[in-house]
Amino acid sequence: MSAAGTSAAGIAPSAAASAAAGAGVTDAVRMTGVSKSFGGVRALQDVNLCFRRGEIHALLGGNGAGKSTILKILNGVHVPDQGTVEVDGVALTEHTPEAARRAGIAMIFQEMSLVPTLSVAQNIFLTREARNRFGMIDDREAERRARVLFHELGVDIDPRLCVSELSAGQQQLTEIVKATSQKARVLILDEPTTALSGTEVEHLFSLLARLKAEGVAIVYVSHRMDEIFKIADVATILRDGRHVMTAPLKEFTLQSMIEQIVGRSAGGFDEPQAHPGPRGEALLELRGVSGARRPGQAVNLVVHRGEVVGVAGLLGSGRSAMARVLCGIDPLARGEILIGGKAVRIASPGDAIANRIALIPEDRRRQGFVAAHSVAENICLPVLDKLSRSSWISNQKAKELVDAQIKRLRVKTASSDSLMGTLSGGNAQKVVIAKWLALDPEVLVLDEPTACIDIGSKGEIVALIRELASQGKAILIISSELAELLAASDRIVVMANGQVVRDIPRHEIDQQTVGATDVAERLQLAERYLQLALQHRAQEWI
């Protein structure tokens, strides 16, 4: 599909970039004195940044630090109030997505930009469609090109499928291929691995290493510190819309980076900790459970009161499918679900709520909140019956509930009346969690609960999960972030091919870290043990 000289996945330096590089110019992007406000709220203040060719530059900061605003200015979605943006030494005078594309900038968005009713291939080449000799759109050629791109990334996704049929992880991979299919000189990745398993992440990192070697400037945003230390050359830290520091990765330690990001020690999230304590009776039990979408699935699992069970597995292992059946989103095909030792019928989300089961979904934007409604309205949605009398909502009760939940989860919002669409990704996720905690569930299922949440807030969420467990809740955490599972879980189960194939007790994990001299080494050893468990089970099913 590629013309001569095109780099990996279709990205190639332009003639202007090559000439600039030959002249010794290494800055791909330079931002000078950039400021931006939204409705009187200052998102960026006098920010100076430089992204260089052949370098992976991590852009770090807490939720609301200004990272996404910088990326959207680069991609032409926002126009800066002040300051200049130069690409290859040329100032951008037009700030639109099309102008950014012409300048050689491609972006992988945190909230995916795919059209669900179009096919995978059609999404990848949207506005850049392949044409036949008569000038007509050639979908078969687009599908062929898409297969090549997926092969380069090391994944197998049918480009003919409709995007609405894909899992969140597959959609994330499609978003990545869509961006890398462009002949970009600057590649921006905003939380690209939130829905990917370890294997897919490694494939992505290999692709980025090839692009870096070919002179592409890569801007990488992630709240996952292990990824930053593994892939980045340089890191810039923002806080409250201001530039805090830029330095090579070798000048940071994990602790110093966290402290610069949050302005204090986050403490605890990146420490693999045991959580000794008595557990109660079996509260949730799945016996040979399978859903209509995965009839071969047969999940057997028990979760006790006061217990946090982590669920690990590669993309497509059936983790989210299990959660959807348990919470009544997908129908139960066979098997039994027991709550407190009694078999219950869960044929709808309403049945799950009636049995005090709540799900924090993986895809928060489509399934977790209503973007056009306020923070307060979203938090109140599951408990309207408790806030109303004779069909009238008690404003006082609603206000007390909302204020308590905002304070409990430290949601950063201008007011409870702010629209959900105005919140950062991490704060939106906090509202989703707050919404279901308002229901006071007995069984809480969290699917990727800290995706796109900063390291300080992750520690708060993990502490909240442990607090809920101490209150006698039964908690399931589904996560592709092993550090999260290690920080929160009492035991971890591994899923493959729709089944629980291994149950790893906490003491077995802790034995792997004996002799480690510091937190980072203990975390690395524990994560490596879980990765081997995942890979071993994956091989059994290939």
Taking only the tens place, the pLDDT of each residue in 366-400 is 788 998 999 999 999 988 888 888 778 888 999 99
Please give the C-alpha separations between residue 238 and each of 5, 48, 52, 366, in angstroms, as whole numbers.
37, 11, 18, 29
pLDDT of residue 354: 93
Q: What is the mean predicted confidence (pLDDT) over 169-177?
A: 86
Q: Are the C-beta atoms of 216 and 14 separated by less than 8 Å?
A: no
- Identify the residue with better confidence: 16 or 381: 381
pLDDT-derived band of residue 29, with 50, 70 and 90 as boundaries?
very high
| Helix ranges restricted to H, 293-394 | 319-326, 349-354, 375-380, 384-387
CA distance 46 to 43: 10
Where is 20: in which H helix or E strand? helix 15-22
Q: Are strands 41-52 and 27-38 parallel, antiparallel or unpaired?
A: antiparallel
* CATH number 3.40.50.12160 is the correct assignment for the domain at 8-262: no
In this predicted structure, the answer to whether residue 269 has a pLDDT above a threshold of 60 is no
- Under 8 Å CB-to-CB from 46, ≥6 apart: which residues? 33, 34, 35, 82, 83, 242
DSSP 2: P
pLDDT of residue 276: 59
- Under 8 Å CB-to-CB from 290, ≥6 apart: which residues? 296, 297, 298, 299, 325, 332, 333, 334, 335, 498
CA distance 108 to 104: 14
- Average pLDDT of the chain? 84
* CATH number 3.40.50.300 is the correct assignment for the domain at 282-356+442-541: yes
Q: What is the mean predicted confidence (pLDDT) over 77-101?
A: 92
**140 Cα distance to chain centroid:** 32
- Under 8 Å CB-to-CB from 524, ≥6 apart: which residues? none
pLDDT of residue 152: 84
- pLDDT by residue (tens digit) across 412-441? 888 899 999 888 777 888 899 999 998 889
Q: Determine phi and psi for 6, rounding to 5 degrees.
A: -75, 140
pLDDT of residue 272: 52
Q: Do domains 8-262 and 282-356+442-541 have the same CATH topology?
A: yes
In this predicted structure, the answer to whether residue 123 has a pLDDT above a threshold of 70 is yes
pLDDT-derived band of residue 277, with 50, 70 and 90 as boundaries?
low
Residue 106: strand pairing partners: 187
pLDDT of residue 25: 45
In this predicted structure, the answer to whether residue 181 has a pLDDT above a threshold of 70 is yes
pLDDT of residue 367: 82
CA distance 124 to 174: 7
- pLDDT by residue (tens digit) across 451-491? 777 777 777 788 889 989 999 999 999 988 888 888 889 99
Question: What percent of the chain has a predicted confidence (pLDDT) above 90?
Answer: 43
pLDDT of residue 160: 94
pLDDT of residue 341: 93
Q: Where are the beta strands (DSSP E) in 88-155?
A: 90-91, 105-108
Question: Could you state, in order of their start, the residue ranges of all structural domains in the chain?
Answer: 8-262, 282-356+442-541, 369-440
Q: What is the mean predicted confidence (pLDDT) over 240-254?
A: 90
CA distance 104 to 182: 8
Where is 180: in which H helix or E strand? helix 168-180
pLDDT-derived band of residue 113, with 50, 70 and 90 as boundaries?
confident
pLDDT of residue 285: 96
Q: What is the mean predicted confidence (pLDDT) over 498-503?
A: 89
